[in-house]
Chain A
């Protein structure tokens, strides 16, 4: 007696299809799972047995072999439980085998026969999208939002069997739709004064330019960074699916409202390991913080305190917008399309003001050496943030609220998308010439800066991208003039410039 049931397992942020083949034949009673199951998978024998018996369903006294095809890939997790149970029943002739070819099953079983939710419902359901899928009740919201095919849910194994054998109908559940912001994002109106820092946030959000905030303790760097995510527009369908897949594959709470529509915000602590940051770790290849921050903001507070190896691991994903992880058995590609915001003190004492800083040059140099040049170069915007003055701090006048700034950001972003279908920070060198043409004076100015050595070749293109965004925000969609370039350059502080003994004509 044989039955084949469709299910899926998780690898990285993607599901992969698994056919659970169950054979119940003559021999000594026993139960074997083959096809590279991991520990959790192999334990499903005991869960399935208890669940069947609790549901008043028979456990066959035969020699049972369960094969997880394709048998070359490693399977992990408890999401195959339901498929194994259904396969066992079909192999005993208790369920019609033909009807199973229309279904896929993704759920864990409890010993009492209840269906338990699994993580990664979105990628799993997408992997079985050619069939109607049965999931646990808690996974229904997320699963039905992710796919166009029908998703059914049930509370217990007994209900599943009843519906499959035609004795009952699948329960219809009314789902709440996710509308607007589900999360409270702090408002920009709380930021008093600090006009330049606010503008830097706006430019960063409008052009997806990576932002480095440099300032003394108490300057409000963290406060500013937290408010950046509120300026980003809600995710479009494609981004929402991608973000939901990533979050779904790691989280423990369940996304009842369906897809993630808000730009994610991740702020890992500086003690985070390399694996926590870029992903990997278990056989499941868990996504790291950079993937979790995809389509949103990754905020690294106290940038200098992160391990240098962790910071340098960010360089490749920053450039390619995906992260390739390879291990001995598997390799995965996960999205890593995030807006990097970092905060740091200008020097060990934190003060930074020439004359007020108590650090000697060697200490400052040592501090700055923690950030590699190539990493610093990837920040299009490097902004010195100073403490807000007392008058602004206690003033009752609130700053411009997030909603007003976000509207300007949305306009600028749609302008950028109308050109090459991407944000300004993604413009290639070839695209720059047509998207960001320079006026005569602007060209002259940039040439002088290049000749004076203030700007590297890479810096030259980055400044032009930022200037494009500044012009978009200022409502000048055509030419870039030198005023835009001036601001772009001012928002690109060279941290090490104070260390070089200046060639001044003293």
Chain B
């Protein structure tokens, strides 16, 4: 039914509230008499006619075949394994398609969102925070988009990999907008499989649904509803992450934001959130505190494995940290001769302090636990 046109989460919910699934399908096809509430709904702008035409047996077969072929499982509102976090939600999805194990949602959950065009330090932070959260048995919930989302999941998966014998409970949870057999973006195909195997991959859309623009805000609402705390790593002030933040605020979910340099466009949104009163996050510790899992005393020591820099290199790193820069920006700001500037950048790159991305350089952080 959810593959039908004009049937969003709300109408689907109404249908299923008043009929059991089989009767609801018959009602949509026009074979059964609807309950009066449903009848009122179907009267809108020839909805009943449209649905009668589209709700064919072929559609039913097609969806069934897709589910079986891809191994997609289904849970309906009211089922035993339907996520508890969604039952009391403002707009709970009537049906969820999923891969993996929904019981991981009984663990502590933190949502991580951010821009698709992230800076290197944004990606680094997303990955690191997710890693540390997963190590502390917290599930990382994210949207599997490019950029921050993908790197958060990579971080969580890496935590699983490095703690194989401990069987940590912090599993990655992906909430996606398209149908589960439509991988979008394509480049994340490996990530989809890994999350499906090690955690849970959830979608509200019927298998085969393309990644249409209207599905993303709906996905964001589920993401927000599944999160106990939402962390925004990098976002422009107009980014899609801000929709997730709105949804989270509607649900009284705590929103935390990673601060960035005021020069960095990618941090405009998060800086704005902090200005509006969100707590800043500079590491996984801050998120754990928000979850009531303060374990700062029990932490391993963290250190930077890179070689100490000479005082002049240290000056360069502190001068240029914060936002991406080109060789030219560097020459102007450091007042070095171009050739000396080039040598300095080459040296810092070799030492692992900066990384290059199509002509843009960024200072990065590296931290490792002390063993």
Contact = CB atoms under 8 A, between A and B. Distances in A.
Interface of A: 193-197, 199, 214, 346, 352-362, 382-386, 389, 392, 470, 474, 482-484, 486-487, 489-491, 493-498, 501-502, 504-506
A354 B357 contact: yes
A355 B265 contact: yes
22 contacts: A196-B338, A199-B338, A352-B358, A353-B360, A355-B266, A360-B117, A360-B146, A361-B116, A361-B187, A384-B360, A386-B329, A483-B340, A483-B343, A486-B346, A487-B343, A490-B342, A495-B358, A498-B358, A504-B120, A504-B123, A506-B124, A506-B154
B342 A355 contact: no
Contact of A194 (B324, B328, B357): B328
Contact of B356 (A193, A389, A487, A497): A497
A506 B128 contact: yes
B360 A361 contact: no
B243 interface: no
Nearest to A359: B117
Interface of B: 115-120, 122-124, 127-128, 146, 151, 154-155, 158, 185, 187, 234, 264-267, 323-324, 326-329, 331-332, 338-340, 342-343, 345-346, 355-360, 362, 364, 366
Given A195-B338, A384-B359, A482-B343, 17 more contacts: A346-B359, A354-B117, A354-B360, A355-B118, A384-B358, A385-B328, A386-B329, A470-B339, A486-B342, A486-B345, A487-B342, A490-B342, A490-B346, A501-B187, A502-B357, A504-B355, A506-B123
A357 B236 CA distance: 10
A487 B358 contact: no
B332 A506 contact: no
Contacts of B358: 214, 346, 352, 384, 493-498
Most buried by B among A346, A353, A494, A498: A353
Contacts of A487: 338-339, 342-343
A355 B267 contact: yes
B339 A484 contact: yes
A195 B331 contact: yes
Contacts of B116: 360-361
A354 B355 contact: no
Given A386-B328, A506-B128, A355 B154 contact: no
B348 to A, nearest CB: 11
B326 A384 contact: yes
Closest 6 CB pairs of A and B: A355-B266, A384-B359, A506-B127, A493-B359, A356-B265, A498-B358
Nearest to B358: A498
A470 B343 CA distance: 13
Contacts of B185: 360-362
A353 B338 contact: no
B339 A355 contact: no
Contact of B327 (A196, A482, A496, A504): A196
Contact of A354 (B120, B328, B332): B120
A221 to B, nearest CB: 13
Contacts of A356: 117, 265-266
A352 B360 contact: yes
Nearest to A357: B117
B151 A506 contact: yes
Nearest to B329: A386
Nearest to B117: A357
A493 B358 CA distance: 6
Contacts of B127: 506
B128 A354 contact: no
A196 B357 contact: no
Nearest to A494: B358
A199 B346 CA distance: 18
A193 B332 contact: yes
